[in-house]
């Protein structure tokens, strides 16, 4: 069932009525992704988190 739903969503831009709904939401089409596709986002988040850490001062 998961594959069937995914297939419908991935191909909905091919139907003019469904495409109109997507476009109304500013979406051209939906695509399948893998978990690894988020690695760039994870790396950016890690850099932001590291930059937000307060600097440790060794001065007294």
Under 8 Å CB-to-CB from 32, ≥6 apart: which residues?
6, 10
- Compute the 3-state secondary structure of the chain and give helix, strand, coil in percent, each to the nearest 5: 65, 0, 35
pLDDT digits (tens, 9 = 90+) for 2-54: 999 999 999 999 999 999 999 999 999 999 999 999 999 999 999 998 888 76
Name the band, by pLDDT with cuts 50, 70 and 90, for residue 56: low
- pTM strictly above 0.75: no
Q: How far apart are CA 56 and CA 60, in angstroms?
A: 11
Locate 57 and state its tokens.
């001062």
Q: How far apart are CA 35 and CA 42, in angstroms?
A: 11
Locate 56 and state its tokens.
């440790």
């Amino acid at each position: 069932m998961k594959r069937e739903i995914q297939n419908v969503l991935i191909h909905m831009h091919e139907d003019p009525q469904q495409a109109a709904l997507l476009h109304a939401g500013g979406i051209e089409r939906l695509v399948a992704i893998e978990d690894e596709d988020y690695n760039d986002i994870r790396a950016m988040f890690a850099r932001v988190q590291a930059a937000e850490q307060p600097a440790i001062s060794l001065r007294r």
